[in-house]
Structure formats: structure tokens, C-alpha cells
Amino acid sequence: MGKYGRAEGPEGHILGAPKAGHITRLEFNKRLEKDADAREAFERQVREEKERRKAIRERELMISRCRLNEGFFSHLKIELGKLRFAVSKTQDMEDRVIELETLGKSPAGRKAYDKMQSDLVTARKSLIKLLTSDDVKATLLDMVEQNELNRLLLTLLDENITNAYQGNQVRRVIN
């Protein structure tokens, strides 16, 4: 802390150590403000980079998911047993036991995530079916008869009604 009660950087500056590229960054921002085409190109490039990174993450998740098979979990249990019953235990070993136990719970989490994902897709389809029908009340009664109503669909309907009231679209809610 500095003498005025503020956090100071290693050199005694309030804002921390000076950083390079400040002038370049300011010039770049000014150029973006002036040139709409450059701004659009930059924003497009940022969007494409985000999409590319998202696609890479999705691919890595799919690859990792395929590797979480019975062989992996049996090896995990063996490793966990070795660490639990080791003669001399260190803090690193205890931390590793906690990590492995958490990893061992991942199949249940994966199943719950898959179920939630399928429930969300089903609720979305039901909501679209309900909102695009000509007779909402009859469609709702049919859905009740076919046991298509679930908690997630009711939550989505409630959010839709709330948003309609906030957007002064009361006629859409009543019909």
C-alpha cells in the first residue's frame, strides 16, 4: 500500500508499471473511428477468430469425451486406490486424490449434462410448436394430454410472457 492507502505497482506508480504500445493503440483506435471499412473489417476478423476458437474448443471437447471410456475409469480407480493406500502420503498426493475423485464423478455430470441438453431441445421444440400454432389453448391442452409439459418448458413460457409484458406486447400474451 502506498502512503495514501492505494495499491501501488513495483515502481511506486499508482497505475502499475508503464506498458509499451500505448501510442500505437491510441492511433489504431482513432483510425478505427475514422475509417468505417477498417472498423467493419476488424470486427469481422474478431468474430471469425472467436468462431474459430469456439470450433476448436468444440472439437477438443468431442475428442476428450470419446476418451472417457470404461478403460480410462478403471485405470483411474486403480490409480486412486494406489494413492489412498500409500504408506507415506504427501500433500501433493492428497491433492491428487481429490483431483482423481472429482474426475471420477465426471460420468454422472456428463449424463446429467446430456439429459439437460436433450430436455432443453425438447422444451424449445414444444415452445415453438405452441407459439406457432393457430389455437394456443387447444395446442396446450393437447400437450398436457400427451404429457409434453415439463418444468423447463413452463420456465421458458414464463420468460416469454414476462418479456412480452415488458415489450408492451400484451396482445401476444393474451391470445
Average pLDDT across each block of 10 residues of the chain; the chain has 175 residues. List them in order. 50 61 82 78 92 92 79 87 87 88 80 84 86 86 86 84 78 52
36's grid cell: 468505417
pTM: 0.43
What are φ and ψ of residue 63, in 5° steps? -65, -45
Cα-trace Rg, the chain: 28
141's grid cell: 391442452
Model confidence pLDDT, tens digit, residues 109-147: 778 888 888 888 888 888 888 888 888 888 888 888 888
Q: What is the pLDDT of residue 34?
A: 79
Task: Find the Cα–Cα–Cα–Cα dihedral 113, 119, 122, 128, rounded to 10°.
Answer: -100
Contact 86, 93 (CB under 8 A): yes
Q: What is the pLDDT of residue 50?
A: 95
Q: What is the pLDDT of residue 18?
A: 63
Q: What is the pLDDT of residue 48?
A: 96
Q: What is the pLDDT of residue 51?
A: 95
Between the alpha carbon of residue 50 and those of residues 28, 38, 63, 139, the distances in Å are: 21, 18, 20, 40
Distance CA 66, CA 109 (A): 15
68's grid cell: 472417457
